């Protein structure tokens, strides 16, 4: 019989250090959680398995900071979701409409959504800067291995690093891994889902470059190429497989198939005439694994009041977009006292999962999780027992809309056809996003 397991002799693990809040995952959700916890007076350590922050927004080359508005001229996402948009566009080009300025809540007859493309290296430098300013310790090239549990509490996390296996002791953990790795390995109930193949890359073409040079804007010389399956159509008859992002085989196969799409594209399109200048350096999984949570985001509950709301959310892809209040319980497992979820792993399934995986929602949940972690330490309670009124007050103080104002209600019933230019501002074209 084939041996299925092996026992390795236990060895002492070096305690690398101690922190108030450990954030696992350095994507935009993790960065936001770290900033929020630090601004609430806590010592924060961010763990990132790669060598740059930003996750899919940078390493994944999905450098479109999707809309913060509801599609009819009303800002929904404030707080860090809005602040980090401006951080990402700080040092280079952007496509932000001048109508949308930081602090503006409503724009009458908008010509564009509150969104922007951004330059990846510039965004990385700016994310580095804000974390340095907030005093956040960042551990790059450090891979989360397992939680150190004592009953229902996580006392620390084990990391694989260049100096070997180490332990980081902590009071609170924010799981911003994108795959619910901390929750799953701590025994939380989770759900897995296969993802479509998607490959975003950038190319230079003579015709696009000429048009860009004539416009005088460097951004207009680039073209984003999207290869793979579209999320907004029925892909059931496609020959491209779907993959789980939680297995060795799934990750490797996804990367091989997605890069083969790019290779075939070059072979079929007279490659000498243009150059592919960038490609994703991580698998571009949309959804992989999420927690089931204390509460589930109810996609039938648009406009509904939630007494434990940590803020308003909407789909960045819908126009107009129904608005929801996100229950605090979607960030928590009922049995784990000090682990909070941030990003696409929160308790939101189906269309909710698709909505909560996008950049504004990820940043927003990161802020809520980081603030809650800091508050729980401050009050000496579990995450489940934080004072909701205080948590809501702190989030609201940064510009987060806790409850839905009357003017945001009923968006799903609104007619926006009177502004065809606005409606014709697509986020995704059939095969590519063009900057010009």
Q: What is the pLDDT of residue 111?
A: 82
Q: What is the pLDDT of residue 434?
A: 30
Q: What is the pLDDT of residue 416?
A: 56
8 Å CB contact between 230 and 301: no
Cα-based distances in Å from 436 to 204, 210, 216, 218, 386? 13, 11, 12, 11, 48
Q: What is the pLDDT of residue 266?
A: 86
Structure-block tokens of residue 307? 């007494």
Q: What is the pLDDT of residue 2?
A: 73
8 Å CB contact between 342 and 331: yes
Q: Domain 14-193+288-420 carries which CATH code?
A: 3.50.50.60
Distance CA 246, CA 264 (A): 27
Q: What is the pLDDT of residue 233?
A: 63
Q: What is the pLDDT of residue 202?
A: 87
Q: What is the pLDDT of residue 181?
A: 98
Cα-based distances in Å from 328 to 184, 250, 378, 403, 429? 19, 32, 18, 13, 35
Tens of each residue's pLDDT in the chain, 436 residues: 577 888 887 889 999 999 999 999 999 999 999 999 999 999 999 999 999 999 999 999 999 999 999 988 999 999 999 999 999 999 998 999 989 987 789 998 888 899 999 999 999 999 999 999 999 999 999 999 999 999 999 999 999 999 999 999 999 999 999 999 999 999 999 999 999 898 888 888 888 888 888 888 888 888 888 888 876 666 666 788 899 999 999 999 999 999 999 998 888 877 677 788 888 999 999 999 999 999 999 999 999 999 999 999 999 888 889 999 999 999 999 999 999 999 999 999 999 999 999 999 999 999 999 999 999 999 999 999 999 999 999 999 999 999 999 999 988 777 654 444 444 344 433 333 332 2
Q: What is the pLDDT of residue 231?
A: 65
Domain range list for the chain: 14-193+288-420, 198-284
Distance CA 414, CA 337 (A): 42
Structure-block tokens of residue 27? 């994507």
């Amino acid at each position: 019989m084939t041996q299925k397991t092996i026992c390795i002799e236990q060895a002492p693990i070096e305690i690398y250090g101690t922190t108030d809040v450990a954030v696992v995952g350095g994507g935009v959700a993790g960065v936001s959680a770290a900033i929020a916890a630090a601004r609430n007076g806590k010592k924060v350590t961010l763990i990132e398995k790669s060598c740059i922050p930003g996750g899919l927004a940078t390493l994944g080359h999905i450098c479109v900071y999707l809309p913060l508005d509801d599609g009819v001229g009303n800002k929904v996402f404030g707080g860090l979701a809005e602040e980090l948009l401006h951080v990402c566009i700080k040092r280079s080009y952007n496509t932000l409409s001048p109508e949308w300025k930081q602090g503006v809540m409503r724009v009458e007859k908008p010509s564009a959504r509150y969104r922007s493309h951004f330059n990846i290296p510039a965004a990385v430098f700016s994310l580095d800067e804000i974390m340095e300013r907030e005093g956040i310790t960042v551990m790059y090239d450090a891979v989360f291995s397992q939680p150190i549990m004592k009953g229902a509490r996580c006392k620390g996390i084990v990391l694989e690093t260049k100096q070997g296996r180490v332990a980081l002791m902590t009071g609170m953990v924010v799981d911003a891994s994108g795959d619910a790795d901390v929750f799953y390995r701590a025994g939380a109930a989770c759900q897995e889902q296969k993802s479509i193949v998607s490959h975003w890359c950038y190319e230079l073409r003579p015709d696009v470059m000429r048009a860009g040079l004539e416009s005088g804007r460097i951004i207009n010389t680039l073209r984003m190429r999207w290869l793979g399956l579209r999320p907004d159509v029925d892909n059931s008859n496609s020959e491209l497989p779907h993959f789980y992002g939680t297995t060795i085989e799934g990750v490797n196969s996804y990367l091989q198939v997605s890069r083969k799409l790019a290779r075939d594209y070059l072979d079929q399109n007279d490659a000498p005439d243009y150059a592919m200048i960038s490609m994703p350096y991580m698998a571009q999984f949309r959804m992989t694994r999420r927690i089931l949570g204390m509460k589930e985001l109810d996609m039938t509950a648009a406009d509904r009041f939630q007494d434990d709301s940590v803020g308003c959310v909407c789909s960045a892809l819908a126009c107009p977009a129904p608005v929801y209040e996100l229950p605090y319980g979607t960030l928590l497992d009922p049995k784990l006292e000090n682990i909070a979820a941030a990003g696409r792993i929160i308790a939101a399934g189906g269309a909710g999962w698709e909505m909560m995986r996008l950049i504004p929602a990820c940043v927003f949940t990161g802020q809520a999780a980081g603030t809650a972690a800091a508050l729980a330490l401050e009050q000496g309670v579990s995450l489940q027992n934080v004072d909701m009124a205080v948590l809501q007050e702190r989030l609201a103080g940064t510009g987060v809309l806790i409850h839905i104002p009357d003017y945001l209600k009923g968006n799903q019933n609104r007619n926006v056809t009177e502004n065809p230019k606005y409606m014709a501002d697509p986020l995704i074209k059939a095969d590519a996003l063009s900057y010009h």
